């Protein structure tokens, strides 16, 4: 029994030493994640407008958001559409551009720069440029389509084409994924390609390239899903400019033009909290967004082998 107390003291000292080393992370986690999350959960069960003290109202905010808030379900559908379609297109396009540039023998640096530069454009400026380029009446894209005898869509003024237009904007700025995929592709062992020289391009892609870069594909998909869940600036700017609302801060604007097709969950968090002063409903939407992000990330991490098929 005499050795029990020194052993406990040693373990206690080791635990305190570990806690001391972890204290910066623990403080940051508590202040910037745990406390905001718990506060959001608390305010989601209260009636709170930011001016008067919150009053507990049970599940009224949850019932209102899921049954009576007219913007919630359109925003949910649009956000899920962007997660599935836009993220998939960005990953495939970024991988395709990376594969193409790694195969170019002359001028690879020039093409790499040209594809990366759009990613550096500020989101607001890039969205404004796309809105004017895709203007259904005077935009050069529709002028070229009409001159070629092709149908000219309404783009950001048409509810059926607004999300594809946002996807085109996201593909234009795919330089970040291109660089990541290029680094991964250049790291694939050349001996494996040489050993499979007679198998054909598709077999080499499926059995060598994709298995080797599968962690990078997973990283691109997970980060893309998180970014799509936080998609706010581009659809809001596109909707405002297309609707002709380009004034100053005094103007009120209901997001989602045209016909709620550019609504996203982050937009209605702002709409509920800072335009309608209903912080309880805004916290409910924020928690739904958080739960969706965690669910998508957990699903992708659990099914990560399915991202590339049975190549490995």
**pLDDT of 110 over the 80 cut:** yes
Spatial separation of the C-alpha atoms in residues 121 and 282, rounded to whole Å: 30
Residue 312: the pLDDT is 44
At residue 304's C-alpha, the angle toward residues 303 and 309, to 5°, is: 95
Highest mean pLDDT among 96-110, 202-216, 266-280: 266-280
Residue 249: the pLDDT is 54
pTM above 0.95, yes or no: no
Contacts by 55-61, CB closer than 8 A, 24 or more apart: 57/280, 60/280, 61/278, 61/280, 61/281, 61/283, 61/284
Smallest CA-to-CA distance from 214 within 97, 309, 115, 93 is with 309
Span 198-209, average pLDDT: 77
| Residue pLDDT, tens place only, 262-283 | 999 999 999 999 888 999 999 9
Spatial separation of the C-alpha atoms in residues 237 and 126, rounded to whole Å: 10
Span 217-240, average pLDDT: 93
**pLDDT of 4 over the 70 cut:** no
At residue 21's C-alpha, the angle toward residues 18 and 23, to 5°, is: 105
Residue 39: the pLDDT is 95
46 token code pair: 């209260």
**pLDDT of 297 over the 90 cut:** no
Residue 311: the pLDDT is 45
Decide the pairing of beta strands 46-47 and 55-56: antiparallel
Residue 305: the pLDDT is 54
pLDDT top residue among 194 and 217: 217
Residue 251: the pLDDT is 60
Residue 96: the pLDDT is 93
Residue 306 per-residue DSSP state: G
**pLDDT of 13 over the 70 cut:** yes
Span 137-150, average pLDDT: 90
Question: How much is the mean pLDDT over the chain?
Answer: 88
**pLDDT of 310 over the 60 cut:** no
Residue 6: the pLDDT is 78
Spatial separation of the C-alpha atoms in residues 130 and 239, rounded to whole Å: 12
Residue 192: the pLDDT is 78
Span 195-224, average pLDDT: 84
**pLDDT of 12 over the 70 cut:** yes
Tokens 């999350």 found at: 37
pLDDT top residue among 224 and 11: 224
| Residue pLDDT, tens place only, 28-84 | 999 999 999 999 999 999 999 989 999 999 999 999 999 999 999 999 999 999 999
- Judge contact between 273 and 282, C-beta under 8 A: yes
Span 195-214, average pLDDT: 79
Residue percentage of the chain with pLDDT more than 90: 63
> Do you know the residue count of the chain?
312
Span 292-307, average pLDDT: 79
Residue percentage of the chain with pLDDT more than 70: 92
Report the DSSP beta bridge partners of residue 56.
46
Q: Where are the beta strands (DSSP E) in the chain?
A: 46-47, 55-56
Smallest CA-to-CA distance from 246 within 237, 234, 254, 255 is with 237
Alpha carbon 212 to chain centroid, angstroms: 25
Residue 162: the pLDDT is 94
- Using omega within 30 degrees of 0 as the cis cutoff, is the peptide bond preceding 258 cis? yes
């Amino acid at each position: 029994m005499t050795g029990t107390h020194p052993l406990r003291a040693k373990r206690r000292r080791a635990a305190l030493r570990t806690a001391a080393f972890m204290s910066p992370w623990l403080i940051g986690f508590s202040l910037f994640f745990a406390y905001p999350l718990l506060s959001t959960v608390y305010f989601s069960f209260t009636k709170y407008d930011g001016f008067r003290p919150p009053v507990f109202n049970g599940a009224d905010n949850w019932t209102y958001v899921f049954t009576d808030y007219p913007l919630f379900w359109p925003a949910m559908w649009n956000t899920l559409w962007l997660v599935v379609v836009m993220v998939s297109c960005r990953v495939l396009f970024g991988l395709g551009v990376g594969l193409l540039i790694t195969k170019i023998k002359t001028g690879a640096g020039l093409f790499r720069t040209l594809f990366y530069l759009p990613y550096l454009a500020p989101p607001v400026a890039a969205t404004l440029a796309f809105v004017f380029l895709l203007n259904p009446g005077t935009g050069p894209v529709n002028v070229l389509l009409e001159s070629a005898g092709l149908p000219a869509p309404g783009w950001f003024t048409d509810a059926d084409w607004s999300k594809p237009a946002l996807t085109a904007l996201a593909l234009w700025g795919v330089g970040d994924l291109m660089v990541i995929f290029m680094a991964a592709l250049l790291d694939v062992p050349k001996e494996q390609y040489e050993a499979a020289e007679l198998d054909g391009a598709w077999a080499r892609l499926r059995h060598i390239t994709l298995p080797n870069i599968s962690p990078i594909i997973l990283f691109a998909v997970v980060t893309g899903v998180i970014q799509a869940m936080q998609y706010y600036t581009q659809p809001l700017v596109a909707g405002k400019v297309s609707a002709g609302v380009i004034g100053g801060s005094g103007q009120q604007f209901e997001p989602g033009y045209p016909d709620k097709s550019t609504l996203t969950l982050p937009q209605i968090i702002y709409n509920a909290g800072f335009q309608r002063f209903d912080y309880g409903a805004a916290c409910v939407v924020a928690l739904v967004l958080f739960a969706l992000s965690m669910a998508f990330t957990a699903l992708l991490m659990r099914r990560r082998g399915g991202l590339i098929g049975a190549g490995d």
